[in-house]
Amino acid sequence: MVLGNYLYNFVLNNWQSFIVNILAYGCATLILLYLLRIPRFKLHLKFIPEKETPAGRSSSALNISAVNKKWWIGYAKEEVNFGLFIPADLVKNKELFWVTTKGLKKTEINAVEKHIFKINGEGYFLYRGIVHNPVYPDSRTLILRISGDFEKNKKTRIYYFFNTPYGRFPRNLKFGKITKTAEDKKLPFSEISIQ
């Protein structure tokens, strides 16, 4: 009984500090969870040259993959959206395939009819899409394939951004200013030299 009275009096006299501690720990936990969920991506480009196969000759392809740089955070299918500023010359007379859970699906796109943005004096168009497959922590996920004949010995640069339910990458990107940010060369990019 004495212990019960002591605990009752202790709680009664210190209830304010209990509430303050609970609120402080709760806020710290929410801030930590928020910081952990902020997305961080990279774009990976891989060129696959044409080759002879038993079925015939396969055409060259450029695989574009999203790399999740967070080793503790993954995303479910269709939870990640992306935007790519792709050189208009790169996709001219080529086939584009977006990657789904059921494999590659051809997408119709005509870069000549799209609005062209000038980045570094070169014509780019904005291709937006959704990642249809899960994006696992610290992994690479194929999102788009460009197939056809590529100009050799040319360096290609693709600018990019990503959106998730937990934020966007890059973090300072403001909606309504995406094309201006790209035209000012302030978006992250990946480069590849096609050999």
Q: Say if residue 85's pLDDT is above 60.
A: yes
Beta bridge partners of 126: 85
Alpha carbon distance 115, 98 (integer Å) = 21
What is the pLDDT at residue 23? 80
Write out the two tokens for 167.
């934020």
- 135 and 162 in contact (C-beta within 8 Å)? no
**DSSP code of 151?**
-
Q: Are 103 and 176 part of one and the same domain?
A: yes
- Of 47-56, 122-131, 142-151, 166-175, the range with the lowest mean pLDDT is 47-56
Residue type, 186: K
Same domain, 32 and 53: no
Is residue 117 located within the same domain as residue 161? yes
Are 17 and 78 part of one and the same domain? no
Going by C-alpha positions, the residue among 124, 131, 139 that lies closest to residue 69 is 139
Looking at the fold, whether 5 and 71 belong to one and the same domain comes out as no
Residues 6+ apart with CB under 8 A from 5: none
Res 13: pLDDT: 72
What pLDDT, on the 0 to 100 scale, is given for residue 98? 85
**Residues 8 and 75 both lie in one domain:** no
Mean predicted lDDT score pLDDT of the chain: 83
8 Å CB contact between 156 and 45: yes
Q: How many CB atoms lie within 10 A of CB 13?
A: 9
**Residue type at 46?**
K
CATH number at residue 134: 2.60.40
Contact between 11 and 19 (Cβ < 8 Å): no
Which residues 6+ apart lie within 8 Å of 63 measured at CB? 45, 46, 47, 48, 142, 144, 145
Note the pTM of the prediction, 2 decimals. Answer: 0.79
Per-residue model confidence (pLDDT) at position 116: 82
The domain tally of the chain equals 2
Separate counts of helices (H) and strands (E) for the chain: 3, 13
Which residue is listed with tokens 């209990």? 18
pLDDT at 112: 56
- Statement to judge: residues 20 and 32 lie in one domain: yes
Residue-wise pLDDT for 5-28, tens only, equals 766 776 667 667 767 767 877 777
Same-domain pairing of 26 and 83: no
124 and 64, same structural domain?
yes
Q: Is the pLDDT of residue 162 over 70?
A: yes
Is 184 in the same domain as 120?
yes
Q: Is the pLDDT of residue 191 over 60?
A: yes
Task: Note whether 86 and 173 are same-domain residues.
Answer: yes
Instruction: Quick: pLDDT tens for 112-145.
Output: 556 788 888 888 988 889 999 999 988 999 999 9
DSSP string, 158-192: EEEEEEETTEEESTT--TT-HHHHHHTT-S-EEEE
Domain that holds residue 22: 1-37
Please compute the mean of the pLDDT values over residues 172-178 and round it to a whole number: 83
DSSP 43: E
Pair (31, 80) in one structural domain: no
Instruction: Compare 26 and 85 and report the one with higher pLDDT.
Output: 85
| pLDDT interval class at 106 (50, 70, 90) | confident
